[in-house]
Amino acid sequence: MSVEADLRHAFRGFELDVTLRAGPGVTAIFGPSGSGKTTIINMISGLLHPDQGRVVIDGASVLDTAARRNIPPHKRRIGYVFQDGRLFPHLSVAGNIRFGARFAHSDPIASETEIVDLLGLAPLMERLPGALSGGERQRVALARALLSAPRLLLMDEPLAALDEPRKDEILPYLEALRDRTGLPILYVSHSVAEVARLADHLILLQNGKIALSGSTQDILSTPAALPFLGVREAGSILRARVLGHDPDGLSRLQLSSGELVLPRVDAKVGESLVIRILAQDVLIALQHPEGLSSRNILPVTVEGLHRGGGPGVAVSLRLGEDVLLARVTARAADDLALRPGLDCFAVLKATTVPRRNIGHDHIGDAPFHA
C-alpha cells in the first residue's frame, strides 16, 4: 500500500509545491509552524482543494485536477486522527469505535477484536469519552480510524494535546499500529523525539517545499539537517539489540559496532531497539580516555562536519552501520583538528538517555492478514 501526492497551491504570501510518496509504515512530515504540514494533510484527505494536484492512494486516483477528478473525503478511504480525538461525547467507547465501521467500504484491515486488543481498549468499551484520559481518548480515535477500513492513515499531531506521561503511554500503541497494520501513515509532528521514535521516513518541510527527505535514521544523522531540527533536539538513532540486564541495574546492548551500557531498559533480551542519542550528549576524544566514569567509549571515524552560524559544529561519526551525531564547539573542532577520515572515540554518558528516547524497532509480530 502506498500514497503518492503532487500538490501545488498558492495562498496569499504562501506557496506549496511538494511531491511525496510514502509506503507502509510511518512517514513523518516535520517542519516549523506555517511550513504547510496541515495543508498537505488536508489536501490529501480532500478537505482542501489544491490549485493543481494529483493524489493516488493504493493505486487508485482520488484527485487529479488535470482530469477534473475529485473524490469526496468520505470516499477516499482515509483514516484521519486529529490532535483532540473528536469523539462523540454521548457514545460509549464501543459506540465510537463502531461508528468508524459504518464508513467501511470494504473489508476492514483487522477485526474489531483485533483492533481493540491492539490498542488495549477491552476494559474501556462501556465508558463514555468524558471518563477517559487524553491518551485513552486518542487510542479510541485510532481504533475508530482503523475500523473504517482505511488504505491510508493521516495523523495531524495526534499527541500534541497530551502531557508527557500520556505521550509515553500511547507511543508503544503507535509502534504496534505501525508494525501490524501495514498501512502507510502520514504523521505530522513538531517533535523530533516522536519522529525519531516512530517514523521510518522523514520529510522536512520549509516554507511549503521539501527541504530534505529520506530514511529517518539518515536524515537525523545528517549534519545539514541540524538547522531544521534545532541544535538542542538534534541527535541520531542507533539500532541496538538487548544483550542482557546486569544485577547493578544496567542493561548491555549490542550495537552494529561495539556495545552500549544504559540504565535498565524496558525490553527483553534479544529485542531490537531504536535509541536516540542527542548530539549534545556525545563527547569526542582523540585517544581512548582512561580513568573516565563513562562506560560507553566507542571507536568511531569522523565522516563529516557542518559549521552552523553560531559557535557550534555538528560532527557525524561512523559507528559500524550507524552514524552518531556529535555537537562540539568550533574551537574544540579546530583544537582537535577534526576532519573526515580521522579515527577517534565517542564518549556517551549512560544516564543522559531518557526512557522516552528508547523505542521498539519494528516488532516481529505478524501483520494483520499476513
Ligand X SMILES: Nc1ncnc2c1ncn2[C@@H]1O[C@H](COP(=O)(O)OP(=O)(O)OP(=O)(O)O)[C@@H](O)[C@H]1O
Question: What is the sign, positive or negative, of the torsion defined by CA atoms of 225, 226, 230, 234?
Answer: positive
- Beta carbon of residue 35, minimum distance to ligand X (angstroms, whole number): 4
Our CB check for ligand X shows the closer of 11 and 88 to be: 11
For 198, the grid coordinates are 516512530
| Other CB atoms within 10 A of residue 185 CB | 25
- Beta carbon of residue 204, minimum distance to ligand X (angstroms, whole number): 12
- Beta carbon of residue 174, minimum distance to ligand X (angstroms, whole number): 19
Our CB check for ligand X shows the closer of 39 and 213 to be: 39
Our CB check for ligand X shows the closer of 187 and 345 to be: 187
Which residues within the stretch 2-21 sit at the binding site for ligand X (CB under 6 A)? 11, 14
DSSP string, 166-214: HHHHHHHHHHHHHHHH--EEEEEES-HHHHHHH-SEEEEEETTEEEEEE
Which residues within the stretch 28-67 sit at the binding site for ligand X (CB under 6 A)? 31, 33-39
- Beta carbon of residue 25, minimum distance to ligand X (angstroms, whole number): 22
Q: Is 88 in the site for ligand X (CB under 6 A)?
A: no
DSSP string, 51-75: SEEEEEETTEEEEETTTTEE--GGG
d(CA 282, CA 196): 17
Number of residues that bind ligand X (CB under 6 A): 10
Between strands 358-360 and 296-307, the pairing is unpaired
d(CA 320, CA 68): 51
Our CB check for ligand X shows the closer of 204 and 313 to be: 204
Our CB check for ligand X shows the closer of 42 and 65 to be: 42
- Beta carbon of residue 42, minimum distance to ligand X (angstroms, whole number): 7
- Backbone phi, then psi, for 191, in 5-degree steps? -105, 120
- Which residues of the chain form contacts with ligand X (CB under 6 A)? 11, 14, 31, 33-39
